[in-house]
Amino acid sequence: MARARTIKPHFMRSRSMRAVSGMARLTFIQLWLIADDAGRLTASPLSLARRLYPGDAEAAGLLPGWLDELERQHCIERYTVDRLDYLRIVNWRRHQKIYHPTPSRLPARPVGFQKESEELQETFVSKSEKPSSDKALSPAAQIPEQFTTPPETLGKNPGNPGAPALSPTFTSDSGGEGFFRRAAAFAQRALARG
């Protein structure tokens, strides 16, 4: 499905875009429109020509050359999985900010993929497709102590140990914060006053 994508102002001044022909540049932009939210698409030359240049009979013969130009400049990577050709737009996540992305149905470029030997490994996901550090899981040693509070302290006020505790059946996953916890504490205090 075609998507609206973003072209940054420095696109035309980039080294790779100055090194390719105008039609390769246009092809690159059009690839963004038909790529999935992970920057991948099927790369059958005839199918791509029909999708990128509908009704243009010459495009089918010229498209492989434009894709070669883009691949030489490391703008795209072509790869094969189970004898099907795919294409990946390099640095996709750096240039396209996608909110609520749809997971790709296409396979990632195999790690260790060698185009000349067609050698594949079992592990998929290239280095550039790994989550950024802000989205990666934190090791347990880096989790703040307030989030590792043992369950026996739930329902107690750590800031005021003399305050009445909440009922033993009350459980919370908010670590002592949040509207519902404060509301329950207020209700218990009101009940205690009579």
Task: Choose among 92, 91, 87: nearest CA to 108.
Answer: 87
Point out the residues of the chain with pLDDT beneath 50: 116-138, 176
Please tell me the predicted confidence (pLDDT) of residue 85: 94
Give the tens place of pLDDT for each residue, 67-101. 999 999 999 999 999 999 999 999 998 888 888 88
Half-sphere exposure of 57 (CA within 13 A, CB side): 0
pTM: 0.57
Q: What stretch(es) of the chain map to CATH 1.10.10?
A: 9-129
Distance CA 108, CA 175 (A): 39
Give the closest residue to 120 by CA, choosing from 110, 106, 107, 129.
110
**Token duo for residue 160:** 């005021």
- Output the CATH code of domain 9-129: 1.10.10
d(CA 138, CA 131): 12
